[in-house]
C-alpha cells in the first residue's frame, strides 16, 4: 500500500491495483496546489461535505471516470451532478473486487456553505476503514475523540490518518488518546497548519507519541510512503 500526502486531509492511496483519493483538496490546498488532472484515480472518498474535503471531488470524477464514495446525502448530491457513486452510512460497508470499504462514525458536521452565511446540512460526517492487499488503513475524517475508536481498531490497523489541528477536530492530546484506542502500527497526522485556526506542531505530537511507544510519521505535502 502506497500512501501519498497532499496536505490537509487529502491522500492518494494505491493498493491492490486501485487508486483512491481521500478527501480531495488539491486545487485550493494552500500546502501544495495540485492540478486534479495530474492525479489519476479510480475512487474518490469524501468523509463529509465541507469544502476542504470535497472541492475537487466532482472534477476528479469527471476527469478520471472515478467513482465517488460518500455518506448517503452527499452521494445523492454527487449522483445528481452526473457522477457514478457509492453511498454508505456509518457502520456499513461494501465488498469490492479488490477489497473492502467500511464507513465509520465521526463526531463533526457536514454541510455546504450557501450565500448569506447559511449552511445546507448534507447528512452525517464519517471516516473510512479501507482493507485491501493485506493492509488496513483508517482515515478518521474530521472528528472528536470517541471511545468507540477501540472498535475501529479491533481487527488491527496498519495505518491511521488522524486529525490533530484542534478547534474543529481532535487536538494533539486527544489524538494521542485516539492512537491508544486504535493501536495502529503507524499514525500519520493530518488537518493542521492549513489555516491559522488549526496551527499545531506535528513534530511535537510525533515526539509525544514516540515517548508513549507509538510510531508516527509526519508527512510533507507531496511525500509518499509504503506500508
- Rg of the chain over all Cα atoms, to the nearest angstrom: 16
Within 139-168, the residues that bind Zn ion by CB under 5 A are 142
Q: Which of 8, 50, 131, 191 binds Zn ion (CB under 5 A)?
A: 50
Q: Closer to Zn ion at the Cβ: 52 or 87? A: 52
Q: How far is the CB of 141 from Zn ion (least distance, A)?
A: 8
| Exposure of 223 in the CB half-sphere (CA atoms within 13 A) | 10
Q: Closer to Zn ion at the Cβ: 113 or 201? A: 113
Query: How buried is 51 (Cβ within 10 angstroms: 0-12 exposed, 13-18 middle, 19+ buried)?
Result: exposed
Q: Which stretch binds Zn ion (CB under 5 A): 63-71, 138-146, 173-181, 216-224?
A: 138-146
Q: How far is the CB of 100 from Zn ion (least distance, A)?
A: 25
Q: Which stretch binds Zn ion (CB under 5 A): 45-53, 69-77, 83-91, 93-101?
A: 45-53
Q: Closer to Zn ion at the Cβ: 127 or 202? A: 127
Using CB under 5 A, list all residues that contact Zn ion: 50, 142
Amino acid at each position: 500500500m502506497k500512501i501519498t500526502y497532499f496536505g490537509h486531509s487529502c491522500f492518494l492511496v494505491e493498493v491492490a491495483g486501485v487508486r483512491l483519493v481521500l478527501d480531495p483538496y488539491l486545487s485550493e490546498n494552500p500546502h501544495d496546489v495540485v492540478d486534479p488532472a495530474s492525479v489519476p484515480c479510480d475512487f474518490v472518498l469524501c468523509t463529509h461535505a465541507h469544502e476542504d474535503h470535497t472541492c475537487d471531488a466532482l472534477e476528479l470524477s469527471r476527469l478520471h471516470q472515478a467513482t465517488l464514495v460518500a455518506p448517503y446525502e452527499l452521494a445523492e448530491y454527487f449522483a445528481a451532478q452526473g457522477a457514478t457513486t457509492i453511498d454508505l452510512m456509518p457502520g456499513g460497508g461494501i465488498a469490492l473486487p479488490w477489497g473492502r470499504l467500511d464507513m465509520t462514525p465521526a463526531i463533526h458536521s457536514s454541510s455546504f456553505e450557501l450565500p448569506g452565511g447559511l449552511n445546507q446540512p448534507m447528512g452525517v460526517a464519517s471516516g473510512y476503514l479501507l482493507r485491501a492487499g493485506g493492509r488496513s488503513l483508517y482515515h478518521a475524517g474530521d472528528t472528536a475523540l470517541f471511545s468507540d475508536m477501540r472498535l475501529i481498531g479491533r481487527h488491527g490497523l496498519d495505518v491511521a490518518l488522524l486529525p490533530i489541528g484542534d478547534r474543529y477536530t481532535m487536538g494533539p492530546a486527544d489524538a494521542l488518546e485516539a492512537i491508544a484506542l486504535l493501536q495502529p502500527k503507524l499514525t500519520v497526522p493530518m488537518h493542521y497548519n492549513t489555516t491559522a485556526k488549526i496551527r499545531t506542531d506535528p513534530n511535537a505530537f510525533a515526539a509525544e507519541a514516540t515517548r508513549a511507544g507509538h510510531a508516527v510519521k509526519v508527512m510533507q505535502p507531496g511525500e509518499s510512503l509504503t506500508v
